[in-house]
Amino acid sequence: MSVLSTAIYTVASEEEAQRFADMAEGMTRSYEAQPGFQRLIVARAVNEPLTLVTISWWETEDALRAWTTNSSYRQAKDDAGGRGMKAKMEFGRWVPVDRK
């Protein structure tokens, strides 16, 4: 059993949307260093260019919670190009999934 974390964000401009999408590579490297991390996807919505979606898979909810409450989480976003970016989270949820 894994835990899937999903979030939908909106940004104010095309430039910010591209910056957010460009953070994926740097964020993936930071996530990969975290115990329990399995996979990260960052995608732009096709019909809403200022909407972005993040999806990450974790071995356990404890591993996910440890990462999101760790100061390294914010630092990883800043280091990946997100410093000063104002992305509004519209939706966020964690759900258990069976990865057969």
Cβ–Cβ < 8 Å for 52, 92: no
Domain hosting 14: range is 2-97
CATH number at residue 21: 3.30.70.100
Q: Say how many domains are in the chain.
A: 1
- pLDDT tens string 67-100: 888 887 777 777 776 676 677 766 667 777 775 5
Comparing 31-35, 43-47, 75-79, the range with the smallest average pLDDT is 75-79
CA distance to 46, 53, 69, 94, per residue, from 82 (Å): 22, 15, 17, 23
Which of 67, 62, 70 is CA-nearest to residue 96? 62
Percentage with pLDDT > 90 across the chain? 16
- Would the pTM of this model clear 0.85, i.e. be above it? no
Q: Do 76 and 40 meet the contact criterion of CB atoms below 8 Å apart?
A: no
CB–CB of 15/85 below 8 Å? no
